[in-house]
Structure 1
């Protein structure tokens, strides 16, 4: 019975934690991309993250136009998720410093997974609804621009075909593999790795 309650606790904490982490990282990426603040999805993300992020901004200033408060909040969410789930699962507490490093790696993996899945969705809808003005698709294109824009400048389209997403996929996959290597070097447990989103199949 105790194990059952522990498993339920881990499930709830991990589910709520990764959903909130997703919202915080999305806000960070949308700000980085200078995406439409008035998009209804942007407004929803702002409402979810503001209660914690606004007080944190009073303590953590921005740096070179980057919202460092969002970065700190994402690391803290991952850190709490790792420590809390580890405590519920095994009854022991992970080293807080190691947990913070694992949180950094996990957050980076989640950002890569967001970009990877987002790019897949964007490509699919470019074929089935190329002229769609849906707010979600418009926001997705804006979010992906920091990933795709630099590659597109180096690799121009072949006629009407934009092949830059292929190279973005390759770069994201390489980055994910490098992070997996860093995770192994940092002795990140498989349990902690499973708490974060990562590219499907890796």
Structure 2
């Protein structure tokens, strides 16, 4: 890979990954039943509406899940991976592998969204507890479904909530140990593994 294709991959990956994160965030927001009127929720809705509106007419919601957002995220991830494969190797290999790699990429980004939400929630709770900020409110709404099971398992330590520590550990274990094994089993090339 020469410098021009490396720079092209970097620019395209950055822009597409940003949009992909917004699409997956929209799925997560509906999944956790976040406040739809939050300005950041409205941003996610408006940014994804042009692609999702026609897709929603074809792909119905299943069991209350926003399947069209999830499908769009998988398609965007697959297209990004196909683009990187074409520039790097001159081929995209086969579609089934590409689909599996895209699913792994979307799942990895899904975990990162929860990770970032918990980081924001923890930092806000240290720096400005009790503030009402749209980002902090959204981070809390996203992180709460992940933290709630740990809160139920852990003993009450007064005013100290250590559930984020265990949630961070769980996500890190999945990202560091299970995701590489899954990528290896799916024969994901290193150039794509670096994308996720």
Q: How far 1:50 moved relative to its partner? A: 0.7
The DSSP-based 3-state class of the residue aligned with 1:38 is coil
User: Is it true that 1:112 corresponds to 2:111 in the alignment?
Assistant: yes
Q: Aligned residue for 2:45? A: 46
After superposition, residues 10-159 of structure 1 pair within 5 angstroms as 10-159=9-158
Residues 17 and 81 in structure 1, CA contact (< 8 A), matched pair in contact too: yes
Please give the alpha-carbon distance, in whole angstroms, between the structure 2 residues aligned to 1:131 and 1:191.
Answer: 43
Please give the alpha-carbon distance, in whole angstroms, between the structure 2 residues aligned to 1:147 and 1:129.
Answer: 22
Residues 57 and 69 in structure 1, CA contact (< 8 A), matched pair in contact too: yes
Q: Aligned residue for 1:182? A: 182
Where in structure 1 are there 5+ consecutive unaligned residues?
197-202
Q: How far 1:148 moved relative to its partner? A: 1.2
Please give the alpha-carbon distance, in whole angstroms, between the structure 2 residues aligned to 1:65 and 1:28.
Answer: 11
60-69 or 167-176, which deviates more: 167-176
Q: CA RMSD in A?
A: 1.5
Please give the alpha-carbon distance, in whole angstroms, between the structure 1 residues aligned to 2:76 and 2:149.
Answer: 30
Please give the alpha-carbon distance, in whole angstroms, between the structure 2 residues aligned to 1:30 and 1:127.
Answer: 24
Q: How far 1:195 moved relative to its partner? A: 1.3
Please give the alpha-carbon distance, in whole angstroms, between the structure 2 residues aligned to 1:118 and 1:111.
Answer: 11
Q: How far 1:156 moved relative to its partner? A: 4.3
Once the two structures are superposed, residues 13-34 of structure 1 have per-residue CA deviations (whole angstroms, 9 ceiling, x without a partner) of: 2112111110011111111111
Residues 61 and 68 in structure 1, CA contact (< 8 A), matched pair in contact too: yes
Q: How far 1:111 moved relative to its partner? A: 1.1
Aligned residues: 195
168-177 or 23-32, which deviates more: 168-177
Q: How far 1:94 moved relative to its partner? A: 2.6
Residues 151 and 168 in structure 1, CA contact (< 8 A), matched pair in contact too: yes
Residues 122 and 141 in structure 1, CA contact (< 8 A), matched pair in contact too: yes
Could you state the TM-score of these two structures normalised by the residue count of structure 2? 0.93
Please give the alpha-carbon distance, in whole angstroms, between the structure 1 residues aligned to 2:156 and 2:50.
Answer: 43
Please give the alpha-carbon distance, in whole angstroms, between the structure 2 residues aligned to 1:65 and 1:179.
Answer: 27
